[in-house]
Amino acid sequence: MNNPSATRVLVIGYVWPEPRSSAAGGHMMQILESFLTQGWEITFGSPAAIGEHKADLGALGIRECAIELNNSSFDEFIRELAPDIVLFDRFMMEEQFGWRVEKQCPDALRVLETSDLQSLRDARQQRLKDYLKDHPAADDFGPLFAPALDAEFQLMADTDLAKREIAAIYRCDISLMISDVEIQLLTEHFKVPAALLHWCPLMVAPATEAFVPYEDRAHFLSIGNFRHAPNWDTVLWMKNGIWPLIRQRLPGAQLHIYGAYTPPKATALHNPAQGFHVMNWAEDALQVMSGARICLAPLRFGAGIKGKLADGMLCGTPSITTPIGAEGMTDEQPWPGLIAQSATALADAAVALYQDRQAWTEAQEHGRLLLAQRYSASLHGPALVERLQHCRDELAQHRRNNFTGSMLRHHLHKSTQYMAQWIEAKNRTR
């Protein structure tokens, strides 16, 4: 931190980034790399415990600082740092620290990294639970994947989580949205001004090495952090509904399931006799993805866009997924694999693509083109920096135009401030 003219950025992380454990961690690292290319000075702080797969931010020249919830020590810390930009990783961090940032550094640009709309994901999870309650032997989940955005709005609108999350979006100057479908939902149905949102999808560089060919690959792969509820639901659906159908057609096939923080309930599903292998964490996700012939990602609920499917494209591994899995990932481009809505159709698609070399090779090429057209780091990184700089230049007028956000900050920050100060005072008396 020795260049007084460099833009200073403080990132307040919900967790310490783990790019090899989750797509959210990977996306955060892509954002940080976009800032580093500009010569910006970055400090990353989090109140979370350090996970076992945490990225080495210090090696990138990023300062790391532990911060505390409900503690005025943060006020002195941020006042001394005097950041030009503060990025909140998830809306819960804006709720906790937003009022302190505004009080100590009122001119700092406040940015929210949403990762995905948690309120949308949770509403879809509840819809799945209700559907399974009414249809315990369901095979086809098409009714869950069909709703228009207005139906999603109706599902979310009365929930406390949506009110909290969208209020945080209003209170920030810019919110980074990984899915353009979620931008459409927010602008058209929640009436969030487009000026408060910026599309910032996964940002990747194109593959420079030749893909592992069809003949040198074998088996199916599924990957994802087990702490993420959609991933655990996917594992259960594969175990009980989809994988037995695939094994009937391909008796020698194997499914390798990788994921960080594997719980005992997942390892209990490991059954080599059924070709169902729970492999725990993959130190190099791209390496294991490159050796698989098919990536299985039959998600029944979720939000945002899926890092595992982007990794599949990056490795030339076609994927079998649902409309939820593919949501927000294409824009008229062909899907690099197949999309289906029922266990039977997903199994049929997986078997067909696994055995058809020509169709598999075409799907691989579709993935290469989709990454280049939609997820280029050389395009989205500079676009993000340009948007933030423009917002900083027009900050006073930008905030004037967002009266709703100003009003929400006034009321919520007062109540949050008093609650935090009460908790801090209570902690001192212990």
In a domain, residue 144? The reply is no
Average pLDDT over residues 403-407: 93
3-state secondary structure of 110: strand
421 pLDDT above the threshold of 80: no
Give the span between the Cα atoms of 179 and 191, in whole angstroms.
17
Closest CA to 152 of 332, 23, 324: 324
- Tokens for 394, please give them: 């027009």
Give me the CATH number covering residue 321: 3.40.50.2000
> Residues 21, 169, 34, CA angle at the centre, nearest 5°?
50
Domain boundary among 349, 375, 401: 375
Whole-Å CA distances, 359 to 290, 350, 355, 356: 18, 12, 9, 5
268 pLDDT above the threshold of 80: yes
Q: Are residues 366 and 391 in the same domain?
A: no
Average pLDDT over residues 200-227: 93
Q: How confident is the model at residue 33 (pLDDT cuts 50, 70, 90)?
A: very high
Domain that holds residue 343: 214-375
Q: Are residues 159 and 272 in the same domain?
A: no
Number of structural domains (the chain) is 2
> Which helix (H) or strand (E) covers residue 24, if one does?
helix 23-36
In a domain, residue 125? The reply is no
In a domain, residue 94? The reply is yes
Q: Are residues 197 and 279 in the same domain?
A: no
Whole-Å CA distances, 394 to 66, 107, 200, 347, 403: 32, 11, 20, 53, 15
423 pLDDT above the threshold of 80: no
Among the ranges given (105-109, 121-125, 273-277, 414-418), the one the predictor scored with the smallest mean pLDDT: 414-418
Give residue 135's pLDDT.
94
Give residue 191's pLDDT.
96
1 pLDDT above the threshold of 60: no
In a domain, residue 123? The reply is no
Contacts of 140 (CB under 8 A, 6+ apart): 341, 342, 343, 344, 345
Average pLDDT over residues 142-156: 88
In a domain, residue 129? The reply is no
In a domain, residue 420? The reply is yes
pTM: predicted TM-score of the whole model, two decimal places: 0.92
Closest CA to 283 of 18, 7, 15, 2: 18
Give residue 65's pLDDT.
96
- Read off the pLDDT of residues 324-368 as tens digits, 9 standing for 90 and up: 999 999 988 999 999 999 999 999 999 999 999 999 999 999 999
